[in-house]
Amino acid sequence: MGQNLILNAADHGYNVIAFNRTVSKVDHFLANEAKGKSIEGAHSIEEFVSKLKKPRRMMLLVMAGKPVDDFIETLLPHCEKGDIIIDGGNSHFPDTNRRTKYLAGKGIRFVGTGVSGGEEGARYGPSLMPGGNEEAWPFIKNIFQDIAAKSDGEPCCEWVGDEGAGHYVKMVHNGIEYGDMQLICEVRSNGNMPLTQLTFSGLRYHEAWIGHARQGNR
């Protein structure tokens, strides 16, 4: 995910600094997928932070939970007031609430953003759901909306609210997605319906529901 978001940003004309604690992965990335693009590597946190323009915009894509807190603490000694830290993982929204408040007390602007679309979406256009410290939005809006997927010419990205709002929206998004997948699996399993017929029936149901909603019936 992180690698593909970096490539996406570079394709849109942004200079990107890549860091991984396994520095051999950085070297491999630079020698292969990132070769010839506006991407530089860093082999330490100090080098990573020093190469960024101020206010620094640092996006993390690490496992949710304690790893996010640990990485934030690793960054903090090298940050200055006004810098921006973005958590692009699937963090639980109460954790994002806590981190936003904690970092605001240190003068750091924290953003928790949902990222949807998987690896292919990250590469060619994800749906982004940023929330947190709204002071950060003017500094990340252009890059987020440039790399996001587009629908009818509009970016699939907008500021959704303060503190953990972005990760809350992503949680609801995931619940709907997995609920839909569960429904498809149960109908297919219990009804013994051919997949092609199930897909067609699902599309007809979707169209009927949309028509019902447009008439003002919810």
Catalytic residues: 170, 177
Say if strands 154-155 and 150-151 run parallel, antiparallel, or are unpaired: antiparallel
Within 8 A by CB and 6+ apart from 204, the residues are: none
Main-chain phi, psi angles of 120, to 5 degrees: -70, -40
DSSP reduced 3-state for 70: helix
CA distance 87 to 96: 8
CA distance 3 to 26: 10
Main-chain phi, psi angles of 158, to 5 degrees: -155, 155
Q: What angle do CA 100, 9, 77 make, to 5 degrees?
A: 40
H or E element in which residue 18 lies: strand 16-19
